[in-house]
Amino acid sequence: MSQKKRNFLFTSESVTEGHPDKIADQISDAVLDAVLSQDAMGRVACETLVTTGLAMVAGEITTSAVLDYSEIVKLVRRLAEVRKAGHLPFLRPDGKSQVTVEYVDDRPARVDCVVISTQHSDSVSNREIHESIVKEVIQHVVPPTLLDSRTKFHINPTGRFVVGGPMGDAGLTGRKIIVDTYGGYSRHGGGALSGKDPTKVDRSACYMARYVAKNLVASGLARRAEVQLAYAIGVAEPVSVMVDTFETGMIPDEQMTDLVRALFSLTPRGIIESLDLRRPIYRRTAAYGHFGRSEPTFTWERSDKAEALRKAAAVRGAEVGAR
């Protein structure tokens, strides 16, 4: 199948672990991890609000675990206070970035613009911040082949950023769902992830959709794949499964969907068992994204179904040919 190629600019945003919304996400997931470490069958829907001198934790939690909630909140706030040793001691926990990539024929060709806003100490100059961020952060992370003389750098474009985190703004669980997932490049169901145990498909089905899509691409059956799973309350099987390969599939998308239904267990229970989700693994997901990570606990990043998909597609193709 041929794909219509496009040239376009696309921008994605990310925020640091010291951003107030991400502090709230980390607290909610720390509560979830604390419950699962004592009670693997615990049910958690935890929301957190943080602001200057206050952290409010609320939600619906059903568990036999006994938790010290205030101690958990001090633990996670400490993560944002402690800076890793590095070359830029003036940096502080809060910050965000935006990267605009120019695509040519649907493939990334160059970085058009990088925006970084970072909290910093009061003693550093704006010039030092700009020069240091470009050298030690941007040029260290972005491949040099994607940077050119036309790439624009905007470092702290609104001015000084000394007061940050909950001291500078309020934070709330679930307000960075696009940052958590694909930066807007893929469609989003709208539900937040952090603070929810894996029986909630807002979280676990997102992980399964990632797992399915990654295996479809790893199998060679498609160059791009987006998977939608839809559920109704009280109904175990998904009410719909859809695969969209954006015309890059080796077989029709309808056949791809049939393969997914046949090879993946898509009920909440099946997802939990397939991805081993009843473990205290979630606080790490609450900063720097839930997807595209290499840690072994991120089981939805495995591509261990790729070979089975290839074989099933070959068998199905042979059956269709025999008819």
Q: Pick the catalytic residue: 8, 60, 71, 323?
A: 60
Q: What is the Cα–Cα distance from 29 to 281, expressed in whole angstroms?
A: 9
Q: Pick the catalytic residue: 17, 19, 209, 283?
A: 19
Long-range contacts of 315-323 (CB under 8 A, 24+ apart): 316/251, 316/255, 316/258, 316/259, 317/251
User: Could you tell me if 153 and 134 are in contact, meaning their C-beta atoms sit under 8 angstroms apart?
Assistant: yes
User: Catalytic annotation on 47?
Assistant: yes
User: Catalytic annotation on 161?
Assistant: yes
User: Catalytic annotation on 196?
Assistant: yes
Q: Pick the catalytic residue: 17, 21, 33, 102?
A: 21
User: Could you tell me if 92 and 120 are in contact, meaning their C-beta atoms sit under 8 angstroms apart?
Assistant: yes
Long-range contacts of 229-236 (CB under 8 A, 24+ apart): 229/201, 229/205, 229/266, 231/201, 231/205, 231/268, 236/267, 236/268, 236/269
Residue with tokens 């473990």: 279
Strands 91-104 and 54-62: unpaired
What are φ and ψ of residue 270, in 5° steps?
A: -65, -40
Q: Pick the catalytic residue: 39, 202, 253, 258?
A: 202
Q: Pick the catalytic residue: 77, 92, 120, 175?
A: 175
User: Could you tell me if 221 and 309 are in contact, meaning their C-beta atoms sit under 8 angstroms apart?
Assistant: yes
- Kindly report the length of the chain: 323
User: Catalytic annotation on 105?
Assistant: no
Residue-by-residue DSSP string for 76-94: HHHHHHPPPP-S-TTEEEE
Q: Pick the catalytic residue: 10, 90, 153, 161?
A: 161
Q: Pick the catalytic residue: 40, 65, 109, 170?
A: 170
Q: Pick the catalytic residue: 96, 110, 224, 284?
A: 96
Q: Pick the catalytic residue: 77, 92, 120, 196?
A: 196
DSSP letter for 289, please.
-
Q: Pick the catalytic residue: 92, 120, 176, 210?
A: 176
Q: What is the Cα–Cα distance from 36 to 311, expressed in whole angstroms?
A: 37
User: Catalytic annotation on 175?
Assistant: yes
Q: Provide Rg for the chain, Cα atoms.
A: 22
DSSP letter for 196, please.
B
Q: Pick the catalytic residue: 169, 226, 253, 258?
A: 169
User: Catalytic annotation on 96?
Assistant: yes
Of 87, 162, 164, 89, the closest CA to residue 120 belongs to 162
Q: Pick the catalytic residue: 17, 25, 47, 197?
A: 47
User: Catalytic annotation on 170?
Assistant: yes
Q: Is 62 helix (H, G, I), strand (E, B) or coil?
A: strand
User: Catalytic annotation on 4?
Assistant: no
Q: Pick the catalytic residue: 110, 130, 200, 223?
A: 200
User: Catalytic annotation on 152?
Assistant: no
User: Catalytic annotation on 131?
Assistant: no
List residues with catalytic annotation: 19, 21-22, 47, 60, 96, 161, 169-170, 175-176, 196, 200, 202
